[in-house]
Every structure is written in structure tokens, then in C-alpha cells.
Amino acid sequence: MENSIKKNNEKYINPYLGGVLLGIVMLISIFISGRELGISGSVRNTVVETAKVISPKAAENSTYYKKFLKKDTSPMSNWLDYEVLGVFLGGLLSGILFKRIKKPFIEHGKSITAKRRLIYALIGGILFGFGTRLGRGCTSGAALSGASTFSYGGVVVMFVLFGSAFAVAYFFRKLWV
């Protein structure tokens, strides 16, 4: 497999193979539990849990956190948390297998400094996290899973997300090229 980043020659699997396998994983997920993948919901669950721990009273009064407080018996919101745990484990496994585990470092484009990259990563994360709630999911949950189950909203999110990224790419080209 090839993909040369400067001097490093990373080994990646054929992307089409990866895509086919990913599609099969989604089909298996539907066959077993009737739902597909998702990530941002688990992040949301963590935020709710943190809020509960830090200030239970405020969490109960908040219109948003209130919705999720009584959910300890519902299996489906936990499904995401378990799945995300698996995502970490799977990524780790792949990193070990392909010898990509490295000492913690900051990866950045050649035109910016590492510090700038971190700032942008934070801003990007905040924006993305916020957008994730409005969009009812992230690229995995709304775009990928939604589109593949033919959801109208999912398809819309998929096209608008990538479209908007393409639209603003020019303005942030310094970050990457």
C-alpha cells in the first residue's frame, strides 16, 4: 500500500477494501441491533454524565441535560458508549498491527507551527461538536449511517457537510498544504 507523507512510508489498506468491509460492518450492525454506527452521541453522553457529577441540581434544571438524566435503564444510549470503547480498541489494534503507534506528537501541515495546529484543532473541535448536535450526528452517525439507510436527513447532512468543507477549504489551505 502506498501513501508517502514526506519521508515516512505508512502502510494503509486499500481504501476500496476498507470501504467494502466498513459497509459489511454496518450491515452486520443492522442485522443484529437494527442500528448503525455513531460517535458523537457518546461524547454527548459523557458531557451529560460530567454535568451530573459536577452539579446535579443544575443538570436537573437544564432543559437539555434533563432529557438524558433518566436514561440509565435504556440500553440504546449505552450502546453508543460501548461502541466507542470498541472504536478506541480497534484503532489501537490497527495502530499496533501497522506499527503506527508513536510517542505522542503533533501532526501538522508544513506551513504552520505545531502550536497553531493545536489552536486550530481546538477551534475545529468546538465547532464540530456544536454542529454535531444540530445535525443529529457526526459524519459517522448522520452522514455515513444516515445516508446508507436512505434517511433523507442523513443524505442532506452528508452532502452539505462535505460541500461546506469544500467551500471553505480554500480559506484554510495554509493549514494543510
- Going by C-beta distance under 8 Å and a sequence separation of 6 or more, which residues neighbour residue 145? 26, 35, 36, 37, 38, 137, 154
**Residue 163 CB, nearest distance to other proteins (Å)?**
7
Closest approach of Cβ 56 to other proteins, in Å? 15
Choice between 56 and 149, CB closer to other proteins? 149
CB 47 within 8 Å of CB 136: no
Nearer to other proteins, 60 or 172 (CB): 172
What is the rounded CA–CA span in Å between residue 145 and residue 67?
23
> Smallest gap, in angstroms, from Cβ of residue 164 to other proteins?
3
The nearer residue to other proteins, 32 or 53, going by C-beta atoms, is 32
CB of residue 54 vs other proteins: minimum separation in angstroms?
Answer: 11
The residue (of 53 and 150) whose beta carbon lies closer to other proteins is: 150
Yes or no: say if 1 and 114 are a contact pair by the CB < 8 Å rule: no
